[in-house]
Amino acid sequence: MEIASYFESLAEFESEGTSLSSQIIMYSDSVEVKDFDLAIIYVPENRWVDHGTSDVNEIFNQINISLGKLYVHDFEPKILNLGIFKIGSKISDTEAGLSDLIQYLVRQKIVPIIIGGGRNLTYTAYKAFEKEEQIVNLTSIDNYLNLDEDSTFNYVGRIIKEQPNYLFNYSNIGFQTYFVSPEEIELADELFFDFFRLGSVRGDVQSVEPVIRSAEIISCSLEVLKSSDFRSSMNPQPNGFYAEEVCQMIRYAGLAEKNRVVIITDLNLSKVYQSDVTLIAEMIWCHVDGFYSRKSEIPSGNKDGFLKYRVPLRNDEFQLVFYKSVFTDRWWMEVPVPPQFANKYRKHHLIPCGYDDYLIATRDDLPERWWKAYKKML
């Protein structure tokens, strides 16, 4: 793939000791892409909600500089900064080009960290996996559900119409009820999607760690942040998550072995405040820190390091099987796959869960997470 043709380069920054500035490599023709673990990509595509742009090179350079000033501890990251993605003459051109690039990077086992454009860019990540005929989970951290056909924010609505379809589960974290129509909530219920209101997650971010851990694609809209914490989104909101809560969720994405793509969207390129530049840099740092703290924990493989719990339900009519890591205290549960779909859903018979799901089972009840996963496979 001729990667250079997709990008405009950013300015080099001065290396400062042990900070990230000495760890991030700017792309050039002499660079071997396959030698890296993570790739940073800036995408100035915001034509879905046209706020105009200022000097995007300067904005992205400032993010680079802020990121370069941050320090890493106990690991040596291999991060490639690809630069600014060249947008197409039409939005569809940008989508096609970015999808091809994501597909290429994922094949190289490189995690793209994409910053900038509208939330609909998340559709391009799905298309990359569709080309590989790989069934995926998508988790969005967003104040909208993105299912409404008549809304600008409808990328999930586009995805579920694709045939053949490769989306196993969509999870939303942080939707605000007054932004979501009853029809959207009804559709999400009918499709057995997971969605968590802002109020149910605030102050309890750890509760959504399993849905982040389960997703290949993580999309985070900057509009999900309170405007007091972030003013430079497309549509700043008075209510939302605090900055540290979003950073914690992005770190969970880094920790998640399944995570293959991270997209941070809805940056208003017409005006960006310096404090917001710093926060974006810190979000990237949180993902990097999580990525290099990953633990290889797959209960379906080597069972060493896991405690197995069998919970009988309905007077021993059947059992639920849970696994708990003795190293990280993370939980999984088994979901039976219908024999005719054994090959299609082989990666989804073990789903991440929490201790609360285990407690629900001990009370002779089915965890909602288990039930939704099972219904999707029928």
In a domain, 296, yes or no: no
Q: Residue 124 is encoded by which pair of tokens?
A: 């391009």
Question: What Rg do the C-alpha atoms of the chain give, in angstroms?
Answer: 21
> Considering its fold, how many domains does the chain have in total?
2
- What is residue 118's DSSP assignment? -
Task: Give the mean pLDDT of 360-370.
Answer: 97
Q: Which residue has the tokens 């290889």?
A: 296
Does residue 258 fall inside a structural domain?
Answer: yes
In 3D, which of 363, 305, 300 has the Cα closest to residue 333? 300
Domain containing residue 319: 306-376
**Do 39 and 70 lie in a common domain?**
yes
> Which domain CATH number covers 257?
3.40.800.10
pLDDT per position as a tens digit, 90-141? 999 999 999 999 999 999 999 999 998 899 999 999 999 999 999 999 999 9
- DSSP labels, 34-69: GG-SEEEEEE---TTS----S-HHHHHHHHHHHHHT
The token pair that represents 9 in the structure block: 């380069």
- In contact, 278 and 66? CB cutoff 8 Å: yes
Same domain, 130 and 14: yes
Residues 48-63 pLDDT 10s:
766 555 678 899 999 9
Biggest CA-to-CA distance, the chain: 67
What is the average pLDDT value for the chain, to the nearest integer? 94
Question: Are the beta carbons of 106 and 260 closer than 8 angstroms?
Answer: yes
Answer yes or no: do 122 and 260 share one domain. Answer: yes
User: Greater confidence, 246 or 120?
Assistant: 246
Joined together, the tokens standing for residue 71 give: 């320090």
pLDDT score of 101:
98
pLDDT given for residue 54 in this prediction = 63
